[in-house]
Structure 1
Amino acid sequence: MYAIDFVEFPSSAASSSGRFFARAFGWTATPYGPDYADVAGAGITLGFQSDPDELPPAPLVTIRADDLDQARRDVESAGGVITVEPFEFPGGRRFHFREPGGCELAVWRPT
């Protein structure tokens, strides 16, 4: 199963971004230190990254997968190029890829 369920945004202040969505829409904000916040609501989770070493250049759409290894094989066999090798993060594991049109996305699997 593949489903878009997460979008990560660059932010100059991740904690402030998280608090904004909690106050404005009543969604749940979970800070992971001063440089990252997750915001969950309306069936999707938003991530806000402000660590300069991890800052995405644009919003990063993330696709949830049941099997990360199979997802990688599917991406590569369809012509995608892996741009970030699989890595662990709080809550799961993911990799990034570029599709033939040039957009970078990610695939993740929760732990």
Structure 2
Amino acid sequence: MNNHIDYIELAAKDLPATQAFFEQVFNWQFESYGPDYIAFSNAGLNGGFFTAQGSSKQANGGALVVLYSDDLELAQSKVEQAGGEIVRAIFTFPGGRRFHFVEPSGNELAVWSQ
């Protein structure tokens, strides 16, 4: 039996802003499935965003989606330039470094590097 995480879905208050952000910062590709859902690819793991007023934040018990970048400082700069909010600046942890940000729909994600 093959069991693994295959797909992730996140809430988004503003699908167009969220799509533009991830296209600009991380070069994700999107496909629209009507007015309330967009699927993303080219992200290491496929997934989608659905229209909802809620958002996911680690402090509220939400799962933290952690992305990888081989240039952490450049990734943080691109997040800031695209309108993302840095909620935890680059810090060191056992095994690497990372930062946390909030994208336009209010979801908190992180980016790590070695």
TM-score by structure 2 length? 0.47
Q: Quick check: which one's strand share is greater? A: 1
TM-score by structure 1 length? 0.48
